Amino acid sequence: MGFLKGKRALITGVASNRSIAWGIAQSMAREGAELVLTYENDKLGGRAEKFAAELGSAKTILCDVSQDSNIAEMKDELAKHWDHLDILVHSIAYAPREELEGMYLDAVTREGFRTAHEISSYSFAALAKSLRSMMAEGGAMLTLSYIGAERSMPGYNVMGLAKASLEANVRYLAQSLGGEGIRVNGISAGPIKTLAAAGIKGLKQMLQFYEVTAPLGRGVTTEEVGNTAAFLCSDLASGITGEITYVDGGFNTVGISPRIAEET
Ligand X SMILES: NC(=O)c1ccc[n+]([C@@H]2O[C@H](COP(=O)([O-])OP(=O)(O)OC[C@H]3O[C@@H](n4cnc5c(N)ncnc54)[C@H](O)[C@@H]3O)[C@@H](O)[C@H]2O)c1
Size of the site for ligand X (CB under 6 A): 27
Name the minimum Å distance from CB 197 to ligand X.
Answer: 4
Nearest approach, Cβ of residue 12 and ligand X (Å): 6
Q: Is 146 a catalytic residue?
A: yes
Residue with Cβ nearer ligand X (135 or 210): 210
Q: Is 228 in the site for ligand X (CB under 6 A)?
A: no
Set 39, 94, 104, 146: catalytic member:
146
Choose between 197 and 240: whose C-beta lies nearer to ligand X.
197
In angstroms, the CA 125 to CA 127 distance is: 5
3-state secondary structure string, 183-204?
EEEEEEECCCCCHHHHCCCCHH
Between 40 and 79, how does the x/- string for binding to ligand X read (CB under 6 A)?
x---x------------------xxxx-------------
| Selected binder of ligand X within 94, 124, 156, 251 (CB under 6 A) | 94
Distance of closest approach, residue 179 Cβ to ligand X, in angstroms: 27
Query: Out of 195, 212, 236, 260, which residue is the one contacting ligand X (CB under 6 A)?
Result: 195
Q: Is 156 a catalytic residue?
A: yes
Q: Which of 15, 74, 89, 95 binds ligand X (CB under 6 A)?
A: 15
Q: Using CB under 6 A, which of 60, 91, 227, 241 touches ligand X?
A: 91
Contact with ligand X (CB under 6 A): which of 197, 216, 240, 254? Answer: 197
As a residue count, the chain comes to: 264
Tell me: does residue 244 bind ligand X (CB under 6 A): no
**Residues annotated as catalytic (active site), given as ranges:** 146, 156
